Chains A and B, each alone.
Chain A
Amino acid sequence: LAFSKIEHVNSELLALTYGALVTQLLQDIEQVDEVNAKLEKIGYSIGVRLIDEFLAKSGIPSCADFRETAEVIAKVAFKMFLGITADVVNWSDNNEFSLILTENPLAEFVELPENYSGLWYSNLLCGVIRGSLEMLQMKVACYFRRDPLRGDDVTEIRVELKEIMIEQYVDDE
């Protein structure tokens, strides 16, 4: 798969920076649920801008349906931005699926202390997915189901299509 002009950095740099962000949020906010929400929100604002980079560099034409969208996220977007691919599994009604990640560059060298057991460490990813799909008129709910940091065998992110937004045009006449 060829992308146009993607520059790369060491994944360790991303992991360390992300770790610094999560640590800072835990210090500033304290409530783990609120940290999860804040990470998702930060991811959302990344997603709404990241989608432009994705469309410009990937050369992927628009997807025919949500199944194709899922494959593009798993095989193209994850590859492009995180250097890994995900598997798409557990479809339900053609509008819900799970992404399975066998490795997670954000969570390199991370161990969760017990008092943070309610933390979804990589929740930023859910926000990125929600934000970028919203820019493509797809309203989704996105959340973690499994995370090796919590003792699970793999990372599972659930994505549920809620609504396809119709672009609104203001009619002057």
Chain B
Amino acid sequence: EVAEASFAFLQIELINYLLAQGEDGVRKLDNIGYQMGIRLAERLTRDRPRFADNLEIIKFICKDLWSYLFRKQVDKLQTNHRGVFVLADSNFPWIGSFSSSASSDSVKEAAQDWLVFPCAIIRGALSSFGVPCTVQPDISALPRCWFTVRLTK
């Protein structure tokens, strides 16, 4: 185990380095998150039986993956039962530094870029289970954060 601060500092440098490259960097960040999601999902499910259905996979994301990344579970999961899932986190840790001054649009825009990383991790993890999807963040009420997962198959 390592200090969460070590990871946080490293993550900040990685994201700053990439976002300084503009659109291109956002694309790279998305790709890095996606690949990490695949690898993490493979590692976390190595010793467990196959999932029965998509809901079980989403629950794995909300519990196991969330605990691994953010040291807690998703606070609330909602679904329309037609392939849309909304994961609500009441205090999302990876954008903590934006939360205090999140009233302005420019700060929200910056936070939105930061969320490319966790959204891509979630998408990567789901894709490794054969569940292609899009993941859309909503930060209109920071530090609360919603992630809308839409299955595309």
- A positions within 8 Å CB-CB of B: 6-14, 16-18, 20-21, 24, 42, 45-46, 49-50, 53, 80-83, 105, 124
Interface string of B1-39 (1 = CB under 8 A from A): 111111101110110011000000000100010011001
Which of B1, B3, B5 has the most C-beta atoms of chain A within 10 angstroms of its own C-beta? B3
* Interface of A: prevailing SS: helix
Contact of A20 among B3, B5, B6, B32 (CB under 8 A): B32
Interface residues on B, range: 20 to 34
Contact A11 B1 (CB under 8 A): yes
Residues of B bordering A, CB below 8 Å:
1-7, 9-11, 13-14, 17-18, 28, 32, 35-36, 39-40, 43, 68-69, 71
Asked whether B13 lies within 8 Å of A14 as measured between CB atoms, the reply is no
A18 to B6, CA, bound (A): 11
- Are B68 and A10 in touch, CB under 8 angstroms? yes
Shortest C-beta distance, A135 to chain B (Å), equals 14
Question: Which of B3, B36, B43 has a CB less than 8 Å from the CB of A6?
Answer: B3
Query: What residues of chain A lie closer than 8 Å to B3, measured between beta carbons?
Result: 6-9, 80-83
